[in-house]
Chain A
Amino acid sequence: MAKRNYRPLVSVKALQKTMGRYYAITNYHRYWGKPLRRPLAWVTSGAPVELLRAFKIHSAYPEQYAAIYSARKTTVALCEIAEAAGYSQDLCSYARSNIGGVLRPDLAPLGGMPKPDLLVACNNICGTVLKWYEVLARHFNVPLLVLDTPFLTAELTPQAKDYVLEQLYAMSADLEKITGRSLDEKNLVKQMRRSAEITSLWKETRQYCQASPSPLNAPDFFIHMAPIVVLRGSQEGIDYYRKLKAEVKERVELGQGAVENERIRLVWDNIAIWPQLFTFYKMFADKGACFVSDTYSGGWAIEQAPGTPMESLAATYTEVFLNRSPEFRANQLINLIREYKADGFVMHSNRSCKPYSLVQEVIRRKVMSETGVPGLMIEADMADSRAYAEEPVRNRVQAFLETFE
């Protein structure tokens, strides 16, 4: 008898509805965008979307679509298109598949992304987004706005904060020109408040996983993080997470775990392996191992920095975890392991994401030394299935899980 050891959430339906609505609205932007004077921006996942919302700009996220392309198993075909156009196979697979989808929308799920009226990139997550969006800017011939958030080797320096702040004001001026609207301060405050609320809800939802058994597992984090990425600042997003939080709370009260017979608690580091989202974590669930937290979806569970809206945006978006030192990130992982009483952690050495992955070994050592729990490294790619070798991965996972016996 096939034993099912993964408990799906009821909220998934609400999620599908919420996201479905978002994709539909986005895909039909060409019909309502102009009449409503609401341009479409392609935006990086770490961009200050609250500012864009204050200008009534609708945002679409290439990284988000890239994850869908992966789930729908179209990434490889799309990457091949980009590679044929000269883009090296060693470049970020989100970028390659996105470019493939731009060149051949007929090969992309959902017919690819709707054409942008502007591009907004923030390099707090990586330097690749700058190059990627330059390519898009040349292709679409639309304005490219870049928020340059200097890397923080330690704490946020006054000069970095001033620099980002000044850029935000300049960006605001550019957005006024592009939209023909002036910055609505009240609206910005409202967007920030909504963001803060959605972030709070997500944070609290994740915190329930400190319970044993954990009500959620890694696939849940990755699937249910979608609204916080693309609907941050919206009421629909808030409504959705209220629902999710309630369900997760109930699970804890009923002692329902995401994984049956949870006996190993783990923390996950890096982006998900989207093409193998379920099959990969099943290897763990089958042995009673549950991922009780992760550093990736947790990246959207941060407090807003204090100050005026612009000051808060400047600090919050510069201080994202990917823009911080290995020491900061090691501490983040150590805290998660302690708070969530994890027995070990797994790091995805993700070829596509250098900022996330290159520092993993030094982090792994520090974390193992400070917490005493073992850490496993898995080599793969977040979206390109050609970089996933099932046998070697299975071997490593099996060996790792055996150490808990």
Chain B
Amino acid sequence: MQKYFVGVDIGSLTVKVVLLNEDLETLGMVMNRAGFSGRDVATRLTEQLLADSGLTTQDVSATVATGYGRVTFPSDREVSEITCQAKGIIHLFPSARTVIDIGGQDSKVIKLSQNGKVADFAMNDKCAAGTGRFLEVMATALEVEWQEIGELVSTSENPTKISSFCTVFAESEIISQVSAGALKADILAGVCESVASRVASMTRRTGLEPDIVFTGGVAHNQGVVNALAKQLGFPLLVSREPVITAALGAALLAREILKA
């Protein structure tokens, strides 16, 4: 009798759900905007995901919720996104010792011990700098689409420097750079460097040990991947679906609840 497990990651901007079976096969994964009620979206997405596999909520043996909205979501257990992220990453990359997660509104660095458990972590969820939001604000100011960033940045030969530690001030800084005639590609490269730099500082607090896995929505952005790899001086492993790794971790933990 096959058993099914659900991992739900309710972030403030997006909701991610992963459906896993006992044999560790991912049967489905989905991401959507959280909108007004992340909880409702999560419920809907879960049902949808199950339906796509011909299942209902009755078939689910255990659910673990993580992310900002985990506390109010009906689940068997709610676990911090740090623990879930660690779990998901170590599953995908057994050699991982450091996880860098840059999401829409926060960024974190997680140090893993030999057995894949969380040894230490550093978080930035109080400031937009060093998160996807920073990229978004700057991209909007430069009238560039999020998806274009990576390609544009790859053409840059002379990244500009952004010195402010505040997103609002940085925005006015890049506008000055535009007026001064700097190229969009160069400014964007500077923006990526800035994000990478903020995150790199966090890694110095926890220590950096390879293998290093880069996850979270911003890991889709090649400009930041390259800037970060360069600044850290280490190659980065990036999963094919960086957005759902915490939800995957939650599903894996759901599977473990039953085993316990």
Which residues of chain A have a CB within 8 Å of any CB of chain B? 76, 80-81, 83-84, 86, 89, 385-387, 389-392
Contacts and interface: CB of A to CB of B under 8 A. Distances in A.
10 contacts: A80-B201, A81-B204, A83-B201, A83-B204, A86-B205, A386-B164, A386-B165, A389-B166, A390-B176, A391-B172
B169 A84 contact: no
B201 A389 contact: no
Contacts of B205: 83-84, 86
B163 interface: yes
Nearest to A384: B165
Nearest to A275: B163
Interface string B160-191: 00011110010011001000000000000000
Contact of B176 (A81, A86, A391): A391
Contact of B204 (A84, A390, A391): A84
Looking at chain B's contact residues, is the secondary structure mostly helix, strand, loop, or mixed? helix
Nearest to B165: A386
Contacts of B166: 389
Contacts of B169: 389, 391-392
A386 B172 contact: no
Contacts of A387: 165
Contacts of A389: 164, 166, 169, 172
A298 B222 CA distance: 54
A389 B204 CA distance: 26
Question: When A and B form their complex, which 10 residue pairs have the shortest distance between CB atoms, in order from nearest?
Answer: A84-B204, A386-B165, A389-B169, A391-B172, A84-B205, A80-B201, A385-B163, A84-B201, A386-B163, A389-B164
A81 B200 CA distance: 11
A83 B122 CA distance: 12
A389 B172 CA distance: 9
Contacts of B165: 89, 386-387
Contacts of B173: 390
Nearest to A89: B165
Nearest to A81: B204
Given A80-B204, A84-B204, A386-B164, 16 more contacts: A80-B201, A81-B204, A83-B201, A83-B204, A83-B205, A84-B205, A86-B205, A89-B165, A385-B163, A386-B163, A386-B165, A389-B166, A389-B172, A390-B173, A390-B176, A392-B169
